[in-house]
Amino acid sequence: KSKLEVFKKAVCKKFSFIKSLGLLPAKAFPMFEEEEIPPEFQENVKKDKPLHIVMIIPEEEYKNIGKIREEIIKLVKDSGEKLWVHIKTEVDLWNYGLDSKFNFIDAISACMPLHDKGFLGALRVANIHKTLVLGKFDRYISNYIISGSLVRGTAGPDSDVDVAVIIDDTDVKRMTRIELLERLRAIIYDYIKESTALAGVKNKLEPQVWLLTDFWQGIRDANPVYFTFLRDGIPLYDRGTFLPWKRLLQMGKIKPS
């Protein structure tokens, strides 16, 4: 982190609008190199073994990404460190979720923050909570969805983080659907405090816990709460139900009342 301090200060001075700057975990380097670095550069990258940095910029700055990239290359050279900077907007990040590339979101949420206006911290607390929940009872979790100010790009260091955990109740045999909901809901809420402590942030996690059958019925009835999560939500985990429903909504097959 001390080696990157000069680079961080130079980047923040040059681009005061950036939302976050973070060092990716080393185990994610090969994944990003294979997916995001042009083939003609991959051999040199594997030889140089650079540190990989994620830079999150506002969506409105996407039109200037070419110029930003040129300036970043100069700053990397001036720093004297071997770095590769991945410049992304929030939309780029959420597209990972819409493409079911959840491991990329996991990696970015696990970044060591060099500079953060709240985006990385809010994402981190949600992703830690997701990991704890899936580790406890992944067979019952159909979807873990994030929505609200983080997805809209307006989250700050103290913003609430809105998530929805959808429980698959279609194969419940040893208890009633309501018993399943109440039992899992209690554990999901218990993990809030632990997730916040592990993330080291002030953001308050606000989970909604729903049964899969109730969620689908709510979508059919155009329930405004369910409908908003389907329209605006981004999956951090999906077993194959949320994204098809979202596609149906985009196609106009699911309509609000």
Mean pLDDT of 200-218: 93
Q: Is the pLDDT of residue 156 over 80?
A: no
- Segment 31-40 shows an average pLDDT of 90
Q: Is the pLDDT of residue 203 over 80?
A: yes
Residue 55, pLDDT score? 98
Enter the pTM of the model. 0.92
What average pLDDT does the chain have?
Answer: 93
Q: Provide Rg for the chain, Cα atoms.
A: 20
Q: Note the pLDDT of residue 255.
A: 82
Q: What is the 3-state secondary structure (H, E, C) of the chain?
A: CCCCHHHHHHHHHHCCCCCEEEECCHHHHHHHHHHHCCHHHHHHHHHHCCEEEEEEECHHHHHHHHHHHHHHHHHHHHHCCCEEEEEEEHHHHHHHHHCCCHHHHHHHHCCEEEEECCHHHHHHHHHHHHHHHHHHHHHHEEEEEEECHHHHCCCCCCCCEEEEEEECCCCCCCCCHHHHHHHHHHHHHHHHHHHHHHHCCCCCEEEEEEEHHHHHHHHHCCCHHHHHHHHHCEEEEECCCHHHHHHHHHCCCCCCC
| Percent of the chain's residues with pLDDT above 90 | 77
